[in-house]
């Protein structure tokens, strides 16, 4: 089960309350150490959530860039194919092939 930062904060609050009620110094110290650890765990969970959110933004931006690149490449390929002129001898010389075959400048 994954623990949330709220869970750890609640455990820290409980430990601090127990430390306040403790009569013995060693019990109070133990509860305060527990509270400190629970606060640290809560902070770590928050940092992990932030890092995951940032990583997701980076992944989405990368996917968008890859999609845009693929769409542009496809459009350029289709555009190039639609602007080609057929040559006289059946060979495909690309755009302006008549000039290449007829030696026109």
Per-residue pLDDT of the chain (105 residues; tens, 9 = 90+): 578 999 999 999 999 999 999 999 999 999 999 999 999 999 999 999 999 999 999 999 999 999 999 999 898 888 887 776 555 555 555 555 555 455 544
CB-based contacts of 86, cutoff 8 Å, min separation 6: 92, 97
Q: At CB < 8 A and 24+ separation, what contacts does 75-78 make?
A: none
Q: Domain count of the chain?
A: 1
The sign of the dihedral angle between the CA atoms of 11, 17, 18, 20 is: positive
Q: What is the pTM of this model?
A: 0.61
By three-state DSSP, how is residue 7 classified? helix
Q: Which domain holds residue 73?
A: 5-102
SS3 content of the chain, % helix, strand, coil (to 5): 80, 0, 20
């Amino acid at each position: 089960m994954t623990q949330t930062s709220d869970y750890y904060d609640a455990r820290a609050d409980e430990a601090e309350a127990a430390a306040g009620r403790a009569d013995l110094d060693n019990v109070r110290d133990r509860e305060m150490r527990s509270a400190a650890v629970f606060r640290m765990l809560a902070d770590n969970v928050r940092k992990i959530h932030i890092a995951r959110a940032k990583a997701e933004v980076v992944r989405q931006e990368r996917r968008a860039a890859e999609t845009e690149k693929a769409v542009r490449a496809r459009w350029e390929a289709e555009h190039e194919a639609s602007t080609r002129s057929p040559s006289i001898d059946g060979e495909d010389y690309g755009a302006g092939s008549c000039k290449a075959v007829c030696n026109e400048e």
